[in-house]
Amino acid sequence: MKPFAPLSALSIARDLEAGTLSPQDVFEHQNERIKALEETLQVFASSVPKAAAHNGPLRGISIGVKDIYDTFDMPTGHNSPIYTDHHPRADSSLVAMLREAGATIAGKTVTTEFAFFHPGPTRNPHNTNHTPGGSSSGSAAGVAAGFFPAAIGSQTGGSVVRPAAFCGVSGYKPSFRLFPTVGMKCFSWLLDTAGFFAASAADNAFVASACSGRNLQVREADISAPRIGVFRQKADHLQSDAMQSAIEQMINAAQAAGASVVEITASEEFEACDAAHSTIQDYEAYRALGFERQNHANLLSPMLSDHLAKAALVTSDAYDNARRTANRARKASHALFESCDILIAPSAPGAAPEGLASTGNSVFNRPWTLLGMPCVNVPGTFDANAMPLGVQVIAPFGQDQKALQAAHWLEKRV
């Protein structure tokens, strides 16, 4: 099936400001798409379709909210029977920020169970026989299908960048702790990172800026051809031929537009990040889900139960050593940018896998999540089966605007 084109949050906001579009027009357009495709795509965990026009920079912009964020007016289920009909009394901090900026919450989007691996029912809009990725499945698929112009998700391993790549949209994983995770179901307190989905990097920058008050917006006048580092690591052998071609296509397009390109090889400290990530995630997940394990073990999926049983074996010493490894890697990471402004690397090994049993491999995402660096998926290339491929832009910690602007520059040239 052919997906609808994603909607631009920035364009909608400009048209609303100019008076050439009304919030009711936007609502009816999106609702038409939802009625046509929701039964097939299964993006929503719950929704209350309504037109709204709150004041603020996000007036008339509807946002999909991953169903691990608390919302006072909709249930928050974490895709677990443990939380059937669970109604929080308050919004999570990020949802409250979006509402305060004038946004309308379109609904709660499907997540994997507790944002781990056990998939939900959501399908990829580009081909419903393929996964949309996870764990932010519904958020990525909903933006791709035009159900809403933007959405929020989270990334503990690769749960923003990878589904964005699989669904052909922009996914922005901010620097660690730049956006609050208060009121978001915790899986790993040292890794969980709030994230955004939209049609483009400029759209993501607009939404993230509007709700936070931070200077993240893409400004054409401030953008010049970046110095690009093509990041090479041991996991590169896992790339599909199509993914390798997408990287080469981006390199060629960037050089043709005036960018300098250098090769950057992963250090030993970086290569140690993947194992450290797994140790930290598992140690913390076992404790973060302590209530669920102790009181509702029979309602956990076999996949999660088995994983938590193995996670119980991670010792405090192993956890502390993994944190030390992460700290060494963060200090060493400054050297990655000595000869470049940003890095590019695969967002995933290839296009979305066929079937819904797996949400894909986060091997190209986990180290950057551990390091806390901002990452932005750049969509625009496809494999021979017309399935999207994504290349991620990585910038130094705290330089989120640089990542978003570089991603925007590359989007225009791919």
Each residue's pLDDT tens digit, 249-300: 999 999 999 999 999 999 999 999 999 999 999 999 999 999 999 999 999 9
Q: Is it the case that residue 391 has pLDDT exceeding 60?
A: yes
What pLDDT is stored for residue 1 in this prediction? 40
With 0-12 / 13-18 / 19 or more C-beta atoms within 10 angstroms meaning exposed / middle / buried, residue 39 is exposed
What pLDDT is stored for residue 187 in this prediction? 98
What pLDDT is stored for residue 47 in this prediction? 86
Each residue's pLDDT tens digit, 58-109: 999 999 999 999 999 999 999 999 999 999 999 999 999 999 999 999 999 9
Task: Please check whether residue 350 is in contact with residue 240, taking contact to mean a CB–CB distance below 8 angstroms.
Answer: yes
Q: Is it the case that residue 54 has pLDDT exceeding 90?
A: no
What is the CATH number for 130? 3.90.1300.10
Distances (CA, A) of 84 to 55, 80, 273: 33, 7, 36
> Token pair of 246, please?
């997408």
Task: Please check whether residue 233 is in contact with residue 197, taking contact to mean a CB–CB distance below 8 angstroms.
Answer: no
Task: Quote the DSSP letter at residue 115.
Answer: G
Number of domains in the chain: 1
What pLDDT is stored for residue 315 in this prediction? 98
Longest Cα pair distance anywhere in the chain, in angstroms?
A: 61
pLDDT, average across residues 159-168 = 98
Q: Is it the case that residue 363 has pLDDT exceeding 50?
A: yes
Confidence of residue 48 (pLDDT cuts 50, 70, 90): confident
Question: CA 307 to CA 203: how far, in whole Å?
Answer: 37
Task: Quote the DSSP letter at residue 2.
Answer: P
> Token pair of 240, please?
């599909």
Query: Edge-to-edge strand order for the sheet containing 193-198?
Result: 44-46, 104-109, 62-66, 150-155, 193-198, 170-173, 375-382, 388-394, 342-346, 227-232, 260-265
What pLDDT is stored for residue 4 in this prediction? 59
By percentage, how much of the chain surpasses pLDDT 70? Answer: 98
Pairing of strands 104-109, 44-46: antiparallel
| 290: three-class secondary structure by DSSP | helix
Residue type present at position 268: E
What pLDDT is stored for residue 70 in this prediction? 98
Distances (CA, A) of 396 to 95, 291, 323, 341: 27, 36, 19, 8
What pLDDT is stored for residue 2 in this prediction? 46
Which residues lie closer than 8 Å to 222 by C-beta, 6 or more apart?
Answer: 405
Domain that holds residue 271: 1-414
